[in-house]
Amino acid sequence: MNIIEKFNQLSFVIGFFFIIIAVVLIGGYLLIAQLAHDENLYTGIGMLVFGLIMLKVKSE
Amino acid sequence: MKLHFADYLIIFIYFIFVIAVGFIVKKRIRSSNDFLNSTRTTPLWITSIAFISANLGAQEVLGMAASGAKYGIMTVHFYWVGAIFAMIFLGVFMMPFYYGSKARSVPEYLFMRFDEKTRGFNALTFAAMTVFSSGISLYALSKLLEVILNWNFDLCIWVAAGIVMLYTLLGGLTSAVYNEVLQFFLIVLGLSPLVIIALHDAGGWATVKANLQPEIAHAWKYMGTAESNPMGINFISLIFGLGFVMSFGYWCTDFLVIQRAMIAKNMSAAQRTPVIAAIPKMLMPFIVVLPGIIAIALTKVALNDGDFRIPMDAKGGLDYTMTLPSLLSYYYPSGLLGIGITALIASFMSGMAGNVTAFNSVFTYDIYQAYFVKNKSDKHYLWIGKMITFVGILLSVATAYLAASYNNINDFLQLVFSFVNGPLFATFLLGMFWKRTTGHGAFWGLFIGTLAAVITHGLTIAEGKGGWISPVYEIRSGMGQAFIIASFSWITNFFSTILISLMTRPKTDEELKGLVYSLTEKVYSTEKRWYMKVAPLSILLLIITIILNIIFF
């Protein structure tokens, strides 16, 4: 199944969404002083893990 | 509160994804049934999460946090007395009729079981209720964005309504359901850090509880008399009004949530949908009620070493609706704040899209097709369904302004539910479990029950609301008033339906096969794993619910 076809799977869409959000939070924590709060890092890691799990789940 | 670029970016990404889901689903829409009812192919995990998420609108998220601050731990009754028992009852006893009858909607089931006029009455009241609920969600979101971000109220209403319109018009019910799943995870993952951070800051649960007024620090201890608790009702009114009439009336008859179970793959999955949804529902107080309880404890001098405040309303009281936004603003740094705001926007969209998709289905099939244009092509009904979606969203916008006069939007919603859902459950209970119930009995019982709700509202007054006939009886809270209205309307409907049914001719047994408990063949699960069976899973959930009630007694 190619990447385009995977977007027909809801779990893949959800996983992809949370990975992007995690990248924004973790990237912000590492690169931008205003975003360098532990809360952003921990939440970002949590969302990254959740996103990766959802990518692996076969929903349909 | 000022948002950083990262916060706006997160909100923007979310908007892109919900609209993208609409485009992904769009290619699957070929008929009116695809658009309005999805198809019976949706996996169990999606139907279960959509089932709970359709109810997880702004009024749930903002309203339950508001109620947590206003009524304290007693707010958990909405979950551990109301929702869980009703959801399990729906899965075990009622889904076989909804799913097995192949009705496209709850009003259509009423048509099959009773007659056209009962369907019409339910379809009209349900349509009105969904527009109210949708409007409240829209109002809540726009007020929130106006107060905390200084965004223009009117602009917020139209932009938010426009995005919901776009993705529901693109993909219909399937798009709404898929987005509800995304929104559910966003709400849970976006608000969970708030509970952890606020609880940690307050010094833990024991400290929070120690700083609450005694009457709001227990779920049951002060429910002996109406005067001893802030809800202004005793445990009998609570169990009967909320636990039985309102909760069963909502979860077991409201097409908004039942529609999600009706798109499951098979009967077993349809029955398990509300039961599995009960698992996250049981834990939801820890995400939506607990922040309100922590907030009210934080306003005590002993705990409040910062400057956390719940804002005041125009009358000088606490504006409970702003409890959750105030906590987000106080505890969330830039970045996480974007997640929190997006979670609130998601809750609004989830609630609004759920109501709009239920509204368009009921209006198209149970009002338009049933009464106005009966024999047109499927293409025509698909077009009408899309037009009704558009109209439903415009009506929601109009209703949003009506909601602005209430300081606790949850009270307002409970009032609407008590008018519509309160009497309705009596009709379903009798219709499904007493074959002697007639169409005339059901219709006039519903009519008289709804009338009783209106009269009870006119004779009772709470927080300055109601009492428009004569304020004969004063109730301490709007919430308590809603429970009492629901109770009276249910009792009136129940007995008037029985009385009129006994005086009129029932349908034959042949006509009622598959629609009434005693005339429906029982289907027993062949599943060997206990956790895949409805009954053992339900019993386990009931035991856990009772334990939770004991822990927070």
Mean of the pLDDT values across residues B532-544? 91
pLDDT at residue B394, as a whole number? 92
Mutation for A interface: B336, B342, B345, most A CBs within 10 A: B336
Q: Which among B13, B14, B181 has CB closest to A10?
A: B181
Please indicate whether, in this complex, the C-beta atoms of A40 and B335 are within 8 angstroms of each other: yes
Q: How many CB atoms lie within 10 A of CB B342?
A: 22
Half-sphere exposure of B3 (CA within 13 A, CB side): 21
H-run or E-run covering B474:
strand B473-475
Mean pLDDT of all residues belonging to chain B: 88
Residues from chain A that touch B178, judged by Cβ atoms under 8 A, are: 10, 13
Angle among Cα B214, B217, B223 to the nearest 5 degrees reads 80
pLDDT interval class at B544 (50, 70, 90)? very high
Q: Which among B21, B189, B332 has CB closest to A50?
A: B189
Strands B473-475 and B460-462: what pairing?
parallel
Looking at this predicted complex, what is its ipTM?
A: 0.94
Helices B409-433 & B58-71 angle (0-180, nearest 10):
110
Rounded CA-CA distance B423/B12 in Å is 43
H-run or E-run covering B346:
helix B336-362
Cβ atoms B250, B239 nearer than 8 A: no
Encoded amino acid at B64, one letter: M
* CA–CA min distance A57, chain B (Å): 11
Residue in chain A lying closest to B183 (CA): A14
CA B60 to chain centre: 7
Rounded CA-CA distance B487/A48 in Å is 47
Q: Is pLDDT above 70 for A2?
A: no
- SS3 letters for B157-187? HHHHHHHHHHHHHHHHHHHHHHHHHHHHHHH
Q: Which among B43, B46, B333 has CB closest to A40?
A: B333
DSSP code, position B468: S
pLDDT at residue B251, as a whole number? 92
CA B317 to chain centre: 27
Residue in chain A lying closest to B28 (CA): A8
Cβ atoms B481, B488 nearer than 8 A: no
Residues from chain A that touch B177, judged by Cβ atoms under 8 A, are: none
Query: pLDDT per residue over B400-448, tens digit each?
Result: 887 766 655 556 666 666 677 778 889 999 999 999 999 999 999 999 9
Query: pLDDT per residue over B194-227, tens digit each?
Result: 999 999 988 899 988 888 888 888 888 888 888 8
Residue in chain A lying closest to B336 (CA): A40
Please indicate whether, in this complex, the C-beta atoms of A21 and B336 are within 8 angstroms of each other: no
Q: Measuring CA to CA, which residue among B68, B69, B461 is closest to residue B232? A: B461
Residue in chain B lying closest to A12 (CA): B182
Query: pLDDT per residue over B135-145, tens digit each?
Result: 877 887 887 78
pLDDT interval class at B493 (50, 70, 90)? very high
Mean of the pLDDT values across residues B282-302? 88
A60 CB within 8 Å of a chain B CB: yes
pLDDT at residue B380, as a whole number? 93
pLDDT at residue B113, as a whole number? 94
Mutation for A interface: B200, B339, B342, most A CBs within 10 A: B339
3-class SS of residue B223? coil
pLDDT at residue B430, as a whole number? 95
Please indicate whether, in this complex, the C-beta atoms of B335 and A42 are within 8 angstroms of each other: no
Rounded CA-CA distance B487/B414 in Å is 13
pLDDT at residue B362, as a whole number? 92
Q: Is pLDDT above 60 for A59?
A: no
Mean of the pLDDT values across residues B298-321? 76
Mean of the pLDDT values across residues B271-286? 95
DSSP code, position B522: -
Helices B116-149 & B106-113 angle (0-180, nearest 10):
160
Helix %, strand %, coil % for chain B, to 5? 75, 0, 25
Cβ atoms B50, B180 nearer than 8 A: yes
CA B105 to chain centre: 17
Half-sphere exposure of B217 (CA within 13 A, CB side): 11
Please indicate whether, in this complex, the C-beta atoms of B13 and A20 are within 8 angstroms of each other: yes
Please indicate whether, in this complex, the C-beta atoms of A39 and B332 are within 8 angstroms of each other: yes
DSSP code, position B312: B
CA B320 to chain centre: 19
